[in-house]
Amino acid sequence: MDHILYVAMSGAKQIEAAQAANTHNLANVSTTGFRADYSAFRALAMKGPGYPTRVYAMAERPGINLNPGTVATTGRELDIAIKDQGWIAVQTSNGTEAYTRRGDLKLGPNGVLQTGDGRPVLGNSGPIAIPPAEKIEIGGDGTISIRPVGQQAAALAVVDRIRLVNPPASELVKGKDGLIRLKDGTDAPPDAHVRVVSGALESSNVNVVEALVNMITLARQYEAQVKLMRDASDNDAASAQTLRMY
């Protein structure tokens, strides 16, 4: 009985983990530039003395979906969307560099340029700070120009350039904070070929229909594992009853 019970318990636990990843994707369907997580199961043989008679299931995240989302025009001067491939470099809470496709930029304290979730955007030499300006323009190469307060319309001054990178997809990993990093922990070099579209935002690449179907499928698989545990308990009770008869 213990064989079937523990195998079913393992399957139910890992299905819960996969359901959590799928629910996380659904929760971020409206998050700008969000990249969905993939989830998968693999068989894991029980190691120990004797023959490997038990095989458990293990849920894991084999990667992230790097397909682009839909780009929609907003007309807002601080909104940008990466054209084709590439990433925006941001500063994490511990001061390291990470990457995102989130382009709903805003001005934070002291004019620091931030993403919509408060991550400082990196430029040529650190976080970008924009002085008081009547107008801000972001060029296709990430160059930020401003018209200082009180200046004429043609008096544009270049402030900085957003650090844009494009490392190979095989070298990327997604952290628990939702940001992208290089697997080896290094910083990607700037890539002058990465272009941005000003006044536009990229949506999440979560497929809502697919995520909902996965949710139903995982729920049914979980119910099947719970039923298997219940059957194992019933079989054990029946065996005990039979032994008492003798």
Which tokens is 138 given?
Answer: 């972001």
Q: What is the DSSP pairing of strand 40-45 with strand 55-60?
A: antiparallel
- pTM strictly above 0.85: no
Could you tell me what percentage of the chain is helix, strand and coil, using 3-state DSSP and rounding each to the nearest 5? 30, 30, 40
What CA–CA distance (Å, rounded) separates 150 from 208? 48
User: Cβ(80)–Cβ(138) under 8 Å?
Assistant: yes
Name the 3-class secondary structure at 229.
helix
What CA–CA distance (Å, rounded) separates 18 from 176? 15
Task: Give pLDDT, residue 242.
Answer: 66
Q: Which of 219, 210, 220, 204 is nearest to 27 (CA)?
A: 204
**Tens of pLDDT, residue by residue, the chain (246 residues):** 466 777 777 778 888 888 888 999 999 999 999 999 887 666 666 666 666 666 666 656 667 889 999 999 999 999 999 998 999 999 998 999 999 999 999 999 999 999 999 999 999 989 999 998 889 999 999 999 998 887 776 778 899 999 999 999 989 999 888 899 999 989 999 999 999 999 999 999 999 999 999 999 999 988 988 888 887 777 766 666 666 665
Q: Which of 63, 62, 45 is nearest to 54 (CA)?
A: 45
